[in-house]
Amino acid sequence: ELLVPHMPTIRVPRSGDRVYKSECAFSYDSPNSEGGLYVCMNTFLAFGREHVERHFRKTGQSVYMHLKRHVREKVRGASGGALPKRRNSKIFLDLDTDDDLNSDDYEYEDEAKLVIFPEHHEIALPNIEELPALVTIACDAVLSSKSPYRKQDPDAWGGELPVSKCANNLTQLDNGVRIPPSGWKCGRCDLRENLWLNLTDGSVLCGKWSSDSSGGNGHALEHYRDTGYPLAVKLGTITPDGADVYSFQEEEPVSDPHLGRHLAHFGIDMLHTHGTENGLRDNDLRPRVSEWEVIQESGTKLKPMYGPGYTGLRNLGNSGYLSSVMQAVFSIPEFQRA
Ligand SMILES: [Zn+2]
Ligand SMILES: [Zn+2]
């Protein structure tokens, strides 16, 4: 009942949400710190003891999950040896164990509870009997979410992609389209990189602008909006082991258990294809698009845009320092007039 007024602020993290539960947004505080770590149940940002109250005052967000890893020296048996090791079901936080502490000499115990500010009311977790189901679901999702720092590790991605719901009954049009092994180009613009083969009609269209320095005009997504054809494969990523498959319908990278058959429909023999960069190895003398040209969006028609969603500078990956220089320069009246 303490939670009732705050229920609208408690969210269940969705697949796109990053849950920060290993380190404070402002300091090095972690669940290992003395004050533990507070995870905001609305934004899933984490705060140490000295920073959480400020977040509460600024945002009014009252409910946090408090995570704390207790470390204590192991109790020694009478013989002086360590007590027999218990299977450690008490550890559930996804944390690196501190290398300074020899884990044979210490035991760890993780604790999670809900804390409501400003009174600092505490509710131990799990508490299925008393908490509303939504809160229990939200807490479970926060606890089981992967640290975003690990989420970006491409190896960790590998085997975990969900199987697309669209893969089993995917319709493939018998339109005679055959995809050549190289020399692709977007069907709606001049882009020759970041191209996606739609597995329903064999159309080859460019992807979206993304932070991995490949440009795109989003024609593949546009095509999905027009047609509803859900799955696309990134050209150049096809190897005998698989390929990058994206589901527009599920809005995430997926795996396609019938990928070999789906590609063969458009004349691609997956087992004899090796990731290429659009045939640049062949006699194509076109210079490789440099990162600078991608950043300038050279070759694409640019329209001046402003309004919601177009304000600010997008981080392209470690480009924040450039953005801050740009903003400083743009604040100079002489430059604005030039
Ligand atoms: Zn802090
Ligand atoms: Zn395009």
What is the number of the ligand closest to the CA of 203?
A: 2
What is the number of the ligand closest to the CA of 185?
A: 2
Distance 19 CA to ligand 2 centre (A): 34
Integer Cα distance of 270 and 141 in angstroms: 37
Distance 291 CA to ligand 2 centre (A): 18
Distance 288 CA to ligand 1 centre (A): 45
> Which residues are CB-contacts of 45 (< 8 A; sequence separation ≥ 6)?
20, 25, 39, 55
Task: Report CA-CA distances (Å) from 46 to 6, 42, 66, 172.
Answer: 18, 11, 9, 46
Integer Cα distance of 132 and 63 in angstroms: 14
What is the number of the ligand closest to the CA of 37?
A: 1
Distance 98 CA to ligand 2 centre (A): 49
Residue-wise pLDDT for 124-173, tens only, equals: 888 888 888 889 889 988 988 876 665 444 444 445 788 999 999 999 99
Which CATH number applies to 161-300: 1.10.10.10, 1.10.760.10, 3.30.40.10, 3.40.50.300? 3.30.40.10
Q: 4-153: which CATH topology?
A: Herpes Virus-1 (3.30.40)
Please tell me the predicted confidence (pLDDT) of residue 21: 87
Q: CA 185, 190, 195, 200: dihedral to nearest 10 degrees?
A: -70
Distance 38 CA to ligand 1 centre (A): 9
Residues of the chain with CATH 3.30.40.10: 4-153, 161-300
Distance 21 CA to ligand 1 centre (A): 12
Tell me if 38 sits within 8 A of 66, measured CB to CB.
yes
Integer Cα distance of 75 and 80 in angstroms: 9
What is the number of the ligand closest to the CA of 209?
A: 2
Distance 248 CA to ligand 2 centre (A): 16
Residue-wise pLDDT for 112-132, tens only, equals: 999 999 889 999 888 888 888
Distance 185 CA to ligand 2 centre (A): 8
Please tell me the predicted confidence (pLDDT) of residue 86: 43
Distance 54 CA to ligand 2 centre (A): 46
Integer Cα distance of 88 and 148 in angstroms: 24
ipTM summary value: 0.50
Please tell me the predicted confidence (pLDDT) of residue 154: 46
Distance 314 CA to ligand 2 centre (A): 20
Of 316 and 180, the one with more pLDDT: 180
Distance 205 CA to ligand 2 centre (A): 5
Residue-wise pLDDT for 188-214, tens only, equals: 998 898 999 999 999 999 998 765 656
What is the rounded average pLDDT for all residues in the chain?
A: 81
Tell me if 41 sits within 8 A of 9, measured CB to CB.
yes
> What proportion of the chain, given as a percentage, has pLDDT over 70?
79
Distance 180 CA to ligand 2 centre (A): 18
Q: Which residues pair with 118 in a beta bridge?
A: none
